Amino acid sequence: MLTGATMDLITLREVRTPRSREELVFAKGDRALGGGTWLYSEPQEGLEALVDLTTMGWQDLERTASGIVLAATCTVATVRELSDVSLFQQCADSLLASWKIHRFATIGGNIALALPAGSMTSLCVALDAIAVIWNATTERRMPVAELVLGVQSTALEPDEVIRAIEFSAGPLASRTGFRRIARSPLGRTGTLVTGRVDDTGEAVFTVSGGTTRPHQLRFDELPSERALVNAVSGIHDWYLDAHGSPDWRRAMSVLFAEELRDELSRPRWNDTRHDTQHDTQHDTQNDRQEGLA
């Protein structure tokens, strides 16, 4: 939660600080509070109470036999430090905001807000992550790919919160590639495309940022160029806003998917070298501005 910040939420009457799951109770007008970077950034009509999830004391990161579990309250800055796969850093850097926002914005808040440029959503969908969803009494699981339904629309019920995000070891060990473009150096994402090849040979491409919801394109093995172009062209919810037109977003996504297909078809040692380069310098091949592509 942002402390000491000026807040102008004139209908807000209460900020609750739960310590246990039973206290995660939401009446009409109540909202979960993650880092507050969006909640405190614009008027919130009808907001009466905030339920601060950061007081639940959830551990940011847990390593288990089957992978990694990140608490929903884990910040984007912490996600960025995870070195298991380059996508953690690449997607964290895709949330174009100052370090102050990165230090407070949470992975759960980013997914629950469900903006097209939600780069934590992109990360989770790219790695087949599962959202652990709580209300005061029950728990359920759902792929993040199915949780985000559209612009600021999710499959969460009004009394539910995202408790954690589970990343399985398989996708974490896969070969990945990343492409993103924005219309200006510090602009919001125009489109963000990832590619992944698992040990089983399965190839997963994801398209987000330029669409109203994230899309996963799955193939038993690396597809042919034609099959991949057809799959990306089969997406129909390209987004129109100040950060890009639908036609441009579709064209860049097709281009990026093909680049990733080519990159992932090369021997593995090439990718390792590529990832190392990305860690040490800003990689303009993977993260571009319009006009430089």
Ligand X SMILES: Cc1cc2nc3c(=O)[nH]c(=O)nc-3n(C[C@H](O)[C@H](O)[C@H](O)COP(=O)(O)OP(=O)(O)OC[C@H]3O[C@@H](n4cnc5c(N)ncnc54)[C@H](O)[C@@H]3O)c2cc1C
If one asks whether residue 217 binds ligand X (CB under 6 A), the answer comes out as no
- The distance of closest approach from Cβ of residue 208 to ligand X in the complex, given in angstroms and rounded to an integer, is 10
Q: Which stretch binds ligand X (CB under 6 A): 61-69, 98-106, 254-262, 269-277?
A: 98-106
CA 65 to each of CA 24, 55, 110, 167: distance values in angstroms, whole numbers, following the listed order: 29, 27, 27, 11
Amino acid present at 131: A
Q: Residues 31, 183, 274, 288: which binds ligand X (CB under 6 A)?
A: 31
- The distance of closest approach from Cβ of residue 231 to ligand X in the complex, given in angstroms and rounded to an integer, is 25
Tokens of 267: 């021997």
Backbone angles phi, psi at 92, to 5 degrees: -60, -45
Q: How far apart are CA 139 and CA 253, in angstroms?
A: 36
If one asks whether residue 244 binds ligand X (CB under 6 A), the answer comes out as no
Q: Residues 82, 117, 125, 252: which binds ligand X (CB under 6 A)?
A: 117
Nearer to ligand X, 111 or 231 (CB): 111
Nearest to 126 by CA among 160, 152, 90: 90
Q: Which stretch binds ligand X (CB under 6 A): 96-104, 140-148, 170-178, 197-205?
A: 96-104
If one asks whether residue 113 binds ligand X (CB under 6 A), the answer comes out as yes
Helix then strand count (H, E) for the chain reads 10, 15
Q: Residues 24, 69, 72, 129: which binds ligand X (CB under 6 A)?
A: 72
Q: How far apart are CA 248 and CA 191, in angstroms?
A: 9
Q: How far apart are CA 84 and CA 91, in angstroms?
A: 13
Report the interface residues with ligand X, using CB under 6 A. 31-39, 41, 53, 72, 95-97, 101, 104-106, 108-110, 112-113, 115, 117-119, 156, 161-162, 188
